[in-house]
Chains A and B, each alone.
Chain A
Amino acid sequence: MKRHFRVWRGDASGGDLRDFDVEVNEGEVVLDIIHRLQATQTPDLACRWNCKAGKCGSCSMEINGKPRLGCMTRMSTFTEDETITITPIRTFPVIRDLVTDVSFNYEKARETPAFAPPPGLAPGEYRMQQVDVERSQEFRKCIECFLCQNTCHVIRDHDENKPAFSGPRNFIRAAELDMHPLDDRTDRKEFAQASQGLGYCNITKCCTEVCPEHIKITDNAIIPMKERVVDRRYDPLVWLGRKIFRRDQLESAENMAPSTTVGVAGTSGGTTLGASGVPHSSVRLPESAPIGPDGRMDVAELLAPQQGGLSPFGEDISFPLPPEYITYTHPERDKNQ
């Protein structure tokens, strides 16, 4: 039987909701309907999808106004006469139809300092107890569908907060590493507060509501991180102790997380440069896709300068790297300890 759909079609220059009547069969999900639309009425309808099993996080869209995965929204949850409205996720710039440019999330992820094992511990020597890593493992379930980023009103309704706010997905990353038994960095709380904009969150829990992996983002990651920041920053006893013993100056000189974000309260923004003019952090600057002189990407891969997708390391890098180019320094045990 046919059901009524409204699908947003257009691109950055504009667009609108178009009406379609599409055949729906038993057991189908919204993504099946998108595919049927592509097969029958609108062969050029753009939609990002991959696994159809709720594990790749590609088919994020808004179905009847709610951020959902297209492949995990069963058609049986709607009544037969219900009009189903499908729009791209709102928070990010649209590329075409249901496809949006989610690079904001990757830029923010790149700014987060990576896992740092303790000095002297080589890969392969990591030993930890299940009870210690359990909390971090919950956050590893994240499929990066960015529904939480999309629904978070801090950036959804206030685009101007994007430079200062990393979003729930990156808060669970921060919590994952801060709770990790083998992570040796001690400044993750300061980083979350100063560079990720943890203070912008007002814990209205929409991220938890939309998470298709049912990660308790607010209760298990954001609130614990807020409490950890309170430990460091808003605890008057700790503050007094630091003032008396002058520990605040010592610590800030040693491991102050550089704020890579412009606009965060109390920071100047920009990556701090070392003496050699090389950024301290291993943060790689965002790269855009290869674009021709007309400002557009090549029509087909066959005409592109290289086949396949872009290397995540940049197209001008070949492996193995000469040793002097490697910025990784393996932590070594301090001889004085």
Chain B
Amino acid sequence: MGTNTQRFRTVEPFIWELSAQGRVGASVPEADVPEYPLPGEVPLRTDLPLPEVSELEVVRHFTRLSRLNYSVDTHMYPLGSCTMKYNPKVNDTAASLPGFSEAHPLLPEDLCQGSLELLYQLQTALERLSGFAAVSLQPAAGAHGELTGVLMIRAYHLDRGDTKRTRILIPDSAHGTNPASVSMAGFTAEQIPSDKRGNVDLTILRERCDETVAGLMITNPNTLGLFEENIEEVTAIVHQAGGLVYGDGANFNALLGYLKPADVGIDVMHFNLHKTFSTPHGGGGPGAGPVGVTARLEPYLPGPIVRAAGREAEQLEGWEAGLITQKRQGPQRNARDSRYTLFYPEKSIGRVKAFYGNFGVLVRAFAYILQMGSNGLRAVAEHAVLNANYLKHLIGKRYRIPYDRPCMHEFVVTGDVAPGIHTMDVAKRLLDYGFHPPTVYFPLIVKEALMIESTETESRQTLEAFAEALLQIAEEAASSPDLLHEAPHYTPVGRLDEVRAARDPILNRRQTEKLEGTR
């Protein structure tokens, strides 16, 4: 390796390759206070190895990088269980209002009533959509919400002196975050198989439920895109054994306005605001993973949550205090009169992060809920489900559907459309057609899975074009398989060698220098 002196051949140079001594990319004000010498007691830094690049070069560098990406703004992005819907721009405008973006989290409550009001109203909106008694907005992502929820389940049992419960059951179709969250909360994860229709196997569930079960984590609709047909029975079995049911809300987009999860026995659930409520994924985050709970888990919520205080607020719950009041009752019952305050639940599991959650994401989600309203959100579920079924219908002629019943917002087919062709080949070839591939090789219970979620924001024409591409790829798979094996052909780089990356990890600048030898 040390002898390899070849220059790195990246499409775009590294930012430090654009560096020239003496350049700056930003101006900093001159000092208007006297000079104070740096302390002698603390060792100073001798070298600060940061690049020196002009503003224009920085702008061009990152702009060029951005153009190497597929994104919702540029391509259909049908990743299953990721809900890559359009992210309305007004949400970003709302989050960047200086009253929000320049609000400090530790302001006295009197000086941040706007933030607290927004948090309160978002809590209320999520409660009303889900049927839960209370919501904490603190978790920063779905998995963070899972950890929070499972810690609450733990606190609930321990608080009752019930110390035997060490196991949490998880269907085999679940996301990997579920078992990982269970481990982080100190429980043992135990897999429950699915039956032939893709539901939780009830016989096995009954066998496994006893006084050592702390709970069940269930995703509904599940990762096959199927609604759990026996959901009420499932939750009843767990409850009878003294356990609680955690709902993974990753797929809540399918249920908006059609089901309140609390109604079918879910005790605690996280919402993925970056999926269901349209906030941008940002190339990996930030998301937001608020958790909703039924009344018996409310005392364990992470603090703080926001409460409305005072007589005025007692009459006007949440929404009535805001927009709805202005529309229906006139300005005399205006939110300006209510006061919001931070509240620490009595038996709280504690904080799961500093401050109140990913506030900027919460503002975006709230703006979305406000604009969509009750009718709009129900229409979201309807069109997400209609789109998925229509797309399934279009490609089902050529792609095998392992669990063939009406799906919800997503569905799973298999990518082995011709001998010697694998799902990854189909996925990479889709890139050549200008579509981001669906989720691949997940859920684990389907071999060669392609998991497709089109979302409600794609038009019929886009769905048809996507289906057309998939059908054409199926033809190519039979007639010229190498076209698929060697795909993608038109992306900035071809298929990348993941084995090499993992065997000799190069994870930062210094490690590239080591490889480049003399450079």
> Are A and B part of the same complex?
no
B-contacting residues of A (Cβ < 8 Å)? none
A-contacting residues of B (Cβ < 8 Å)? none
